[in-house]
Every structure is written in C-alpha cells, then in structure tokens.
C-alpha cells in the first residue's frame, strides 16, 4: 500500500492565521472555521467568501509558496 504525502502550511493573511493541509483534498482552517475541496482556491472561497478575487489569488499563492517551502527535498 502506498503512502500519500500530507503537506501543511500556515500563513497570516489580513491578521488571520490560515492553515492549509493537502492530503487527498485541501483542508483549510481559519478563524475557527474550516472547509475542504479538491482545489485550494475552492476551499478558500468556501471558508472566506468575502475575499475579492485579488485577495483570494494572493492568499492562494502565499499558501502554495509556503507549502512548497515546507516540502522535504
């Protein structure tokens, strides 16, 4: 049985700590709430629906960069 790698990253966005974990789905937690989706931007949009498209894009990029930085090489 193969193991699926779990990736996790936390960033602060607009004074809110946002944690994204990728296993099979993206699971995002912020401000005491959580959401899951196949794609990171979908999970963020469900969790923080009041963000503008630019804010959503910025947060998505920040989390992806942080996730990449956390991966072992």
6 confidence band (pLDDT: 50, 70, 90): confident
* Half-sphere CA count of 4, side-chain side, radius 13 A: 6
pLDDT tens string 44-73: 999 999 999 999 999 999 999 998 876 665
Spatial CB neighbours of 21, under 8 Å, sequence gap ≥ 6: 6, 7, 8, 27, 28
User: What integer pLDDT is reported at residue 4 of this predicted model?
Assistant: 62
User: What integer pLDDT is reported at residue 73 of this predicted model?
Assistant: 54
Global pTM reads 0.84
């Amino acid at each position: 049985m193969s193991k699926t790698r779990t990736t996790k990253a936390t960033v602060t966005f607009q004074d809110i700590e946002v944690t994204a974990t990728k296993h099979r789905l993206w699971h995002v937690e912020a401000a005491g709430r959580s959401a899951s989706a196949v794609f990171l931007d979908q999970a963020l949009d469900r969790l923080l629906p009041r963000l503008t498209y630019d804010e959503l894009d910025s947060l998505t990029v920040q989390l992806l960069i942080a996730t990449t930085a956390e991966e072992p090489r």
